[in-house]
Amino acid sequence: MLPPRLDSVSPLGGQRGTEIELTLRGQRLNEPQALLLSRPGIEVVEVKKGKDATVCTINLRLAADCPLGAHPLRLRTAAGLSNLCQLFIGAAVEIVETRVPGAPQLVTTACTIDGAINGEETDCYQIALPQGGRCIAELEAMRLGRGPIDLALSVRDPGNCEIARVDDTALGHKDPWLAFEAKTAGVYEVRVEPSYADSTNAGPYRLHLGDLPRPTAALPGGGAIGSTLTVTLIGDAMAMAAEVLVPDDCGEWFAFYPSDSRGTAPTPLWLRAGGPPEITPATEEHGAAMVTIPCSISGVVTTPTGMRYRFAAKKSEVLELRALALGSHSPLDPVLVVHDEQGALLAADDDAGAPASDSFLRFTAPLDGNYVVTVSDQLGHCGALHVFRLECGSRPRVTRSRLVLARGQEPVLNVPQGGNVGMVLQFDDTDFDAGQSFVMPSLPQGVTATFGRLQKGVNLVPLMLSAALDAPLCSALAMLAMHNEIAPFERPAGYAQVLPLVSVRNDQPILTTTQRRLPIAVTSPAPFTVDIIAPKVPLVRGAPMAVQIHVHRREGFAGEVRLKTLWTPSGVGGGEVTLPANTDNCTLPLDANGNAPLGPFAFAVLATATEKDEGFMQCSPFIEITIEKPWLTAQTQGGRTTVGTTISLPIELKGEHALQGPLQVQLLALPRGATSAPITIAADATATTLPVTFAADAATGKFRELMLEIRVPHEGATVIHRFPVGELRIDPPKKSSRVTQPAKVPATDGKVQRP
């Protein structure tokens, strides 16, 4: 069955410590069973069906300590897991925008407004402030993941004069925020409007208002995983210090929500997890602070020329330098430059790091001595917002993995009861010498995982999940790990699936989220299963193989089934076939070129079918197919002849190991009008000839596609070998060189001669 599809959730969020009723709209929502949640703090109280398959409701209880920010969720039905949507949890009171045409909505401070821009309208909210009263306004629009919504914020004083306006901000990932102070007591108006006039620039938003803390950065900007940082918050009218715990399951960056007696900042600060140890640079010397590598330095670019640091290096020492800013939502576009002490430029970089607008360079010291690294902005911008983290030192070698997804495919594994689901993992930085293999703990009840072999030079591996027929319908978020044959025996697999939330032209994502666990659901059974009959012979380089497929149909299912390979190594090609209705067996072609990796690989096929407008997918269990070098070699050359002749094509044979016989030899891809009957030769033959006959009307020209096929019997099966023949040239018949003279006619002198 096709899984559910979510188009929207409402409300957009909720205040922690309360209960909300969540309405989900989309497709195939007629059998809602549960929510799969990625973060703690949300309890599902009740799941209710809607009036039809386009809507359902779920009652949620939000814990008082529910983590703030976006909570990814997926709806589970009997057909599997939906696409990802997000629910936003805040600390302030939640209110809903009330539509009163032509009249602003009066609100209290310290609240979150759930609203929407429809068309090219402007939404107005009024708040009363005393003289000297302070207020921040922060907008979540693009970050909600509902589309490329570009909104602007402005503030008008009691005299209707605009005192502040802002559009994009780095801290809000293009969403605007501003802070203002009431110079006079009265009612101030906060306006939300499209940043440009376009009827498509519309959608939902969450507006945060109140006298809340709003620091713009924290120093230091990161620390060791599992450590507690003491950070200084900058950019707020009230400078603060805070204790921050660096989590161990967050990836490279994590969100920190500053709070004080005024409340909690609606938009978090983003801090770095891991990297070289954080240090405070020593006293500046010659205009550059001295540091010892490896280290991390958190700073602010306060001058157009940037911040400079000196370090010592030995001759031929290789050092890695990274200037990180984008991950912390800093507006800085960092540039890294390395000079020697005499000022000679040795290395520079802009935008080579990951993420793309950060900087990275690998520097080799030419001599023993001191060097200077400078961090600046590409356009010379500077200021309190332009924070960075300079990491000096090599990154540790860790495995990183992700699922290979087709366009529009969700990174979820919906396993049918009594069946299988297959996908492909991509990985890098794997330690093959440690004898690594993937494992998947914390699977749903009744589900098992199988992985293909890891092979050097191949960064892909197939994954298969199987569910018992009596496995309960359920879901889980599974971890992905690595098992090693040498210590440490268990290592993280670094699973990180980047999911686009908002894309623009050519499917270019401008807002993403990262999934760090594999969503798995057990679904209702499919009306068929599929098996592969394991071949008794290997797949030989340069030759094809026909794999036997059998489909087991459950009673009542007679439709056609489409089959294709789940995955094959580089150099191995697999075809696609359609099994007609009411048939159970077919063959799927495989072939290996001359560069296909030798050895065994896990092979499976994907089967899809449709019944009563419902789509189903099954995967066969893995079988092992081995790729080998050809068991023999055959040398032959093309030739040249004319139509209407017969030639004998000489063939030289050399066996790589003992063969069973007899061998069958034939030519393939002959041109029109050419025939060659297969011949049988002994298994130990070293030479033979193959006759080829060309009819009088055979095609003429040069032919380079001819293949010599040798079929080698083995264990009751056949191993096919194919070798190129070379160019065969067929000429038309030669014209006669004798010139025919016209017959002489006797003179008649004008008289007619009669016989």
Dist. CA 168–CA 176, nearest whole Å: 5
Q: What is the pLDDT of residues 187-196, one digit of tens each?
A: 999 999 999 9
Q: Per the structure block, which two tokens stand in for 474?
A: 């359920």
Helix (H, G, I), strand (E, B) or coil at 618: strand
Whether omega for the bond prior to residue 662 falls within 30 degrees of 0, making it cis, is yes
Which helix or strand (DSSP H or E) is residue 460 part of? strand 460-467
Nearest to 120 by CA among 141, 93, 151, 99: 151
- DSSP states along 121-134: --EEEEEEE-TT-E
How do residues 458-489 score in pLDDT, each as one tens digit?
899 999 999 999 999 999 999 999 988 887 88
H/E stretch holding 309: strand 307-313
Output the six-digit token pair for 172: 């809000």
> What token pair was written down for 63?
């814990």
**Please, are residues 655 and 663 in contact by the beta-carbon 8 Å criterion?**
no
C-alpha 299/C-alpha 423 separation (Å) is: 43
Neighbours of 21 (CB within 10 A): 14
**Burial (0-12, 13-18, 19+ Cβ within 10 Å), 388:** buried
The residues near 21 (Cβ < 8 Å, ≥ 6 apart) are: 57, 58, 59, 60
Structure letter (DSSP) for residue 743 = P
User: By the 8 A CB rule, do 355 and 322 touch?
Assistant: no
Count, residues in the chain: 755
Q: Give pLDDT, residue 755.
A: 40
Q: Which residues of 645-670 are buried (b: 16+ CB within 10 A; e: fewer)?
A: eebebebebebeeebeeebebebeeb
Return d(Cα 413, Cα 21) in angstroms, integer. Answer: 28
Which residues, in sequence order, are bridge partners of residue 657?
Answer: none
- The rounded distance, in Å, linking the Cα atoms of 670 and 687 is 21
Query: How far apart, in whole angstroms, are the C-alpha atoms of residue 495 and residue 293?
Result: 30
Instruction: Enter the tokens of residue 23.
Output: 């309405």
Q: What is the pLDDT of residues 344-384, one digit of tens each?
A: 999 999 887 655 579 999 989 999 999 999 999 999 999 98
Q: Following CA atoms 165, 169, 171, 175 in sequence, which dihedral angle do they give, to the nearest 10 degrees?
A: 80
- The pLDDT value recorded for residue 692 is 93
Residues in the chain with pLDDT values less than 50: 745, 748, 750-755
Amino acid present at 127: I
Torsion angle of the four alpha carbons 432, 435, 440, 445, in this order, in degrees rounded to the nearest 10 = 150
Distance (Å, whole) CA 480 – CA 442 = 9
Burial class (CB in 10 A: 0-12, 13-18, 19+), 343: exposed
Q: Please, what are the domains in the chain?
A: 5-90 (2.60.40.10), 107-210 (2.60.120.510), 217-273 (no CATH), 284-392 (2.60.120.380), 400-523 (2.60.40), 528-628 (2.60.40.10), 632-731 (2.60.40.10)
Structure letter (DSSP) for residue 278: B
As a three-state string, the secondary structure of 413-432 is EEEECCCEEEEEEEEECCCH
* Calpha distance 15→12 (Å, rounded): 11
Would you say the C-alpha torsion 298, 299, 305, 310 has a positive or negative sign?
A: negative
Triad 487, 493, 494: Cα angle to 5°: 125
For 308, list phi and psi in degrees, rounded to 5.
-120, 140
Strands 93-96 and 111-117 turn out to be parallel
- Whether 228 and 273 have beta carbons less than 8 Å apart is answered as no
Query: Strands 288-290 and 307-313: what pairing?
Result: parallel
Q: Which helix (H) or strand (E) holds 495?
A: none
The whole-number pLDDT of residue 752 equals 42
Burial class (CB in 10 A: 0-12, 13-18, 19+), 627: buried
